[in-house]
Amino acid sequence: MRKIKVIVTAGYGTNCERETAYACQIAGADQVDIVHLSSLIYGEVRIDDYHLLCLPGGFLDGDHLGAAQAGAHRFRYARVKDTEERLLDQVLRLIEQGGLIIGICNGFQLLVKLGLLPGFDRNYENRLTSLTYNDSGRFEDRWVKLKINPDSPCVFTQGLTEMYLPVRHGEGKFVVKDEGILKRLRENKQIVCQYADPKTGEPTMEYPYNPNGSVEAIAGICDETGRIFGLMPHPEAYNHFTNHPRWRRGEGDTLGVSLFKNAVSYLRQNL
């Protein structure tokens, strides 16, 4: 049995790499490495030597030019030292080899601005969606209920129907280029999770349950294969029952670590 190797990127403003790495470790991954983006650019470490790529939350490049916009330019245009290879080329090979990718918050912003999501027809360099400023006009830091689509092909959410996770972002509003893209996301079941009313469990546009005004209450989407997943809430921040804001009252929900356990389980069965 091959060892499951996970790479968690760090540097240039990310700040959730340690929690993300810890979530992967307790999910059962055999090797989890936190790697600075400069080590990738200098060719000291290669993305396609791993099975799961985690793009964690934070403020990549200070969100200059828009959240993750400068970071997307680095992946798309920067060349690995002494080569003509882009970081994005390594990411694309990881996908071709059957690997998994999860982008959380800033990582989700990076995925959509690269075009890796929604990835229609496996065209992973065509940007069709984005994440922009919250309707509230301010940074949102709160816990939200999520409804998870059980019919989605997303590897990370298999067997899950709802979750309760924290959000902390200023640019989390999911938007699409046109209605046709939204229609295709629906038809392909690529809308993985939506902000939900905590009483009814149904998707909502009502603030603060939908903290940013995302179209169709979208909190996360995947590509058509289900192997690339991006979401604004932070599953790595709910890695123990005491993380829940009302755990002393005996309340709790499905741990965010469940997403990473699903990923490790999938890789063990498919490598």
Domains in the chain with CATH codes: 5-270 (3.40.50.880)
pLDDT of residue 200: 96
Q: Which of 17, 140, 171, 236 is catalytic?
A: 236
pLDDT of residue 2: 80
Active site residue 236: yes
Q: Which of 51, 169, 234, 244 is catalytic?
A: 234
pTM listed for this prediction: 0.97
Active site residue 202: no
Q: Which of 24, 105, 193, 222 is catalytic?
A: 105
pLDDT of residue 85: 96
pLDDT of residue 1: 64
CB 17 within 8 A of CB 44: no
pLDDT of residue 271: 84
- In tens, the pLDDT along 39-55 reads 999 999 999 999 999 99
pLDDT of residue 189: 98
**Cα 196 from Cα 146, distance rounded (Å):** 5
Look up residue 58 and give its DSSP letter. Answer: B
Q: What is the dihedral of CA 80, 100, 204, 16, to 10 degrees?
A: -60
pLDDT of residue 47: 97
Residue type (1 letter), 266: Y
Cα dihedral sign, 120-233-130-148: positive
Active site residue 105: yes
- In tens, the pLDDT along 239-265 reads 999 999 999 999 999 999 999 999 999
Q: Strand, coil or helix: what is 141?
A: strand
Q: What is the mean pLDDT of the chain?
A: 96
* pLDDT confidence tier of residue 64, bands split at 50, 70 and 90: confident
